[in-house]
Copies of this chain bind each other. A is one copy, B any other.
């Protein structure tokens, strides 16, 4: 093997530059050159018309900052299956031949992975390095820890606004089908309520929880200050189990309906409850906030940080995981193992699994939700009983880094 191409695909997030550096350096140690195929699958499709590619020499690598989020290789949301051209795989193969690229390391999420499976079926050797800030693959995916940290930071920052105005704050974050980022980001900020795609929301429960926590906080505070923090995944569902979609917004390049307004929806629902609740006026009066006709109900504000959650800084876990996973991807390719996903590289071992298996969607473990419900956090349902199995651990402990 002389030359490998690297592709990053789908949404940007933390850790990808580490994947790139890990892959390039491992390859260099084997005398293999790594080139960047820019702009995801778009770049792959257009390779045949491309004039030059950047080889990741030491000199070029030094300009890539592994601690900076996003990808030097670029992204696009192009899905090969969507391309309506009968010769598309031939076109891709010609492009790879043109540059003598014998294998691909492709970092992306479930859509990316499914494209990779297609490519493999066409005889193109690929290894998949898992990436998605949604964390909904079966194995860890680079970008998750960075997104979680940013969600936690934003929710924590917003408390100063919440405490100052006695407001309920709703932070809407990415998470279409799986709520890992909202869940772990919310716990990381000690949020009061976390709404996930996995649990259709019963707003009676949410309102009752909010009322109890929020009202008592303000009342017992010596300066009459309190807040209530909600993290809502964009893909949260209403009581009927339907997502809060913005039907006017069309679909994206992968054919997904555009979600919009989980935060706004939560705000409006809770405002509706407050409007109907006769206790609210008493609460406002007891806490010295009531000014009839001017200020009669606590305010609710939603904030949607959007791409801020995936941008900026790559946190340490993602750089560590990314660098070793990128390296492992090259090691697998060099061994002739293809069509698989790097699960992890640790100690003297590299683990992989078939990509088709790994990209099966993983949801938040509801048993773990029950643990945090036990700790008083609301997940939009009546808390389920938490009955842990208590076990002595034997053997080596699986652990973080």
Contacts and interface: CB of A to CB of B under 8 A. Distances in A.
Contact of A301 (B225, B290, B307, B340): B307
A154 interface: yes
Query: Copy number in this complex?
Result: 4
B223 A149 contact: no
26 contacts: A36-B223, A39-B287, A42-B290, A42-B291, A43-B289, A50-B288, A54-B222, A58-B213, A62-B217, A65-B190, A67-B153, A70-B160, A75-B165, A145-B316, A153-B313, A161-B310, A169-B307, A187-B316, A189-B319, A190-B319, A253-B295, A301-B307, A304-B304, A305-B305, A347-B365, A350-B391
A22 to B, nearest CB: 6
Interface string A169-195: 100000000001000110111100000
A346 interface: yes
B303 A303 contact: no
Contact of A316 (B16, B149, B346): B149
A77 interface: yes
B139 A397 contact: yes
B324 A374 contact: no
> Looking at A26, A68, A161, A324, which has the most chain B CB atoms within 10 Å of its CB?
A161
B224 A345 contact: no
A142 to B, nearest CB: 11
Contacts of A370: 348
The number of chain A residues touching the other chain, given as a range, is: 35 or more
Contact of A71 (B164, B189, B301, B316): B164
Given A77-B295, A188-B317, A347-B365, 16 more contacts: A8-B164, A22-B375, A42-B295, A47-B288, A50-B288, A66-B189, A67-B153, A76-B291, A144-B401, A148-B317, A152-B316, A301-B307, A317-B400, A335-B390, A340-B392, A348-B389
